Amino acid sequence: MSGLEIRQLRVSFDGFTAVDGVDLEVRPGDLRFLIGPNGAGKTTLVDAVTGLVKARGSVRFGGTELLGRSVHRIARSGIGRTFQTATVFEELTVLQNLDIAAGAGRGAWTMLRRRRGVPEPVAQALETVGLTELADSPAGTLAHGQKQWLEIGMLLVQEVELLLLDEPVAGMSHDERQATGELLQRISEERTVVVIEHDMDFMRSFARSVSVLHAGRVLSEGTVTEVQADPKVQEVYLGHTAAEDAADVAVQEA
């Protein structure tokens, strides 16, 4: 297992600096939550790590520098992500979605032949995310929460070592959140997981460690309790002193 090491990361769009010198270290096997108000730079940070936007500084994963590599090479070095709005291939079936995610390393000969049966890792992922029954349905017909699970399943078969999840439980019911949280805990036993989330209840229940971003910088870092007790964090969440109030506001924002 590898960890993520970000040093002095900077991203700017036409003069506006979205990420302003972030230092962040995620140990192997961590389940790290990134929180912070809107515009804090959370998604941009993930965009920079996965090569979607240009950035300066350094991002190392398992010792290799990621900045400057193309998106698909970063993906091949074991880093996968999801998006705020679940992005799956709507016209393809659940099975086809997973099979494509599993296949980046396939040779030309395998690609040019038909898929026979269900590959073992795909079957396992179907089981893990609970979509076995729906394997032959088009992904476009899935419910919102199911699409998000399918995305996580795609990361599993992709055999990534680092999962970057952008608001994975947005729009899910309480039970679905619980199930997703437990799934993430299980996943993080073998892989490193970073979650962007606005839902403070969810964060309190499942985070192993938390980083708070504000205005493109890391404001505070530590366990859930440590971060909640940090006066700087309370200040950022609209100046309220009680962490509980801060959480409620953040939930409404999400």
Partner 1 sequence: MNVLKGRSARAWAGFAGGAFALFAVAPFALSDFRLGLLAKYLCMAMVAVGICLAWGRGGLLTLGQGVFFGLGGYAMAMHLKITDAGPGNLPDFMQLYGTADELPWWWRPFENPVFAIAATVLLPMTVAALLGLFIFRRRVKGAYFAILSQALASAFAIWLVGQQATTGGTNGLTDIQGFFGYDLDDPVNQRMVYFVIAASLLALIALARQLIHSRYGELLVAVRDSEERVRFLGYDPANVKLVAYVVAAGMAGLAGALFVPAVGIISPALIGIVPSIEFVIGAAVGGRASLVGAVLGALAVAWAKTALSEEFPAGWTYFQGLLFIVALAFLPGGLASLTKLFRRRRAVAQKSPVIPVGEAA
Partner 2 sequence: MTVILGQTFTGISIGAVLLLIALGLSLTFGQMNVINMAHGEFIMAGAYTTYVLQKSISSAGISLLVALPVAFLVSGALGALLEWLLIRRLYLRPLDTLLVTWGVSLMLQQLARDIFGAPNVQTRAPDLLTGNITLIGGDDPLSVANSRLFILGLAIAAVVALSLTLRLTPLGRRIRAVVQNRDLAEVSGISTSRVDRTAFFIGSGLAGVAGVALTLVGPIGPTMGTNVIIDAFLVIVVGGIGQLKGSVIVAFVLGALQSVLEYSTTVSVAKVLVLVAIVAFLQWRPQGLYTLRTRSLV
Residue 148 interacts, among partner 1, partner 2, none and using kind-specific CB cut-offs from 5 to 8 Å, with none
Instruction: Return the residue of 27, 76, 217, 240 that touches partner 1, per CB under 8 A.
Output: 76
Judge whether 211 and 31 are in contact, CB under 8 Å: no
CB 168 within 8 A of CB 222: no
Residue 105 in contact with partner 1, rule: CB under 8 A:
yes
- In the chain, the largest separation of any two C-alpha atoms, in whole Å, equals 62
Whether residue 217 contacts residue 22, with contact meaning beta carbons closer than 8 Å, is answered with yes
Residue 114 makes contact with partner 1 by CB under 8 A? yes
Count how many Cα atoms sit within 13 Å of the Cα of residue 63 in the half-sphere of its side chain.
1
Helix (H) or strand (E) holding 246: helix 243-253
Kindly state the smallest distance separating residue 50's Cβ from partner 2, in Å: 11
Q: What are 176's two structure tokens?
A: 């679905």
Least distance CB 14 / partner 2 (angstroms):
6
Task: Estimate to the nearest angstrom the gap between the alpha carbon of 40 and the chain centroid.
Answer: 16
Q: In Å, how far from its chain's centre is CA 5?
A: 16
1 contributes a contact to partner 2 by CB under 8 A: no
Map the footprint of partner 2 across residues 99-128, applying CB under 8 A.
none
Sole binder of partner 2 in the list 7, 13, 115, 182 (CB under 8 A): 13
Nearest-CA neighbor of 125 among 95, 85, 148? 95
| Phi, psi dihedrals of residue 148, rounded to the nearest 5° | -65, -35
Contact partner at residue 14 from partner 2, partner 1, none, CB < 5 to 8 Å by partner kind: partner 2
Give whichever of 89 and 248 is closer to partner 2, judged by the CB atom.
89
Q: Output phi, psi for 173, to 5 deg.
A: -75, 170
Nearer residue to partner 2 within complex by CB, 16 or 109? 16
Residue 89 within binding range of partner 1, rule CB under 8 A: yes
In angstroms, what is the minimal distance from the CB of 154 to partner 1?
7
**Of the residues 122, 142, 154, 227, which one makes contact with partner 1 according to CB under 8 A:** 154
Question: What minimum distance in Å lies between the beta carbon of 251 and partner 1?
Answer: 28
d(CA 143, CA 132): 15
Compute how many residues bind partner 1; rule: CB under 8 A: 39
Tell whether residue 87 is a contact of partner 2 (CB under 8 A). Answer: yes
Nearest-angstrom CA–CA distance, 90 and 139: 5
**Tokens at 209, concatenated:** 């460690």
Amino acid (1-letter code) at residue 210: V
Under the binding rule (CB under 8 A), the answer on residue 53 touching partner 2 is yes
72 binds partner 1 (CB under 8 A): yes
Which residues bind to partner 2, rule: CB under 8 A? 13-14, 43-44, 47, 52-53, 83, 87
- Summarize as ranges the residues that interact with partner 1 (CB under 8 A): 50, 52, 70-72, 75-76, 80-81, 83, 87-93, 96-97, 99-101, 103-106, 110-115, 136-138, 140-141, 154, 158
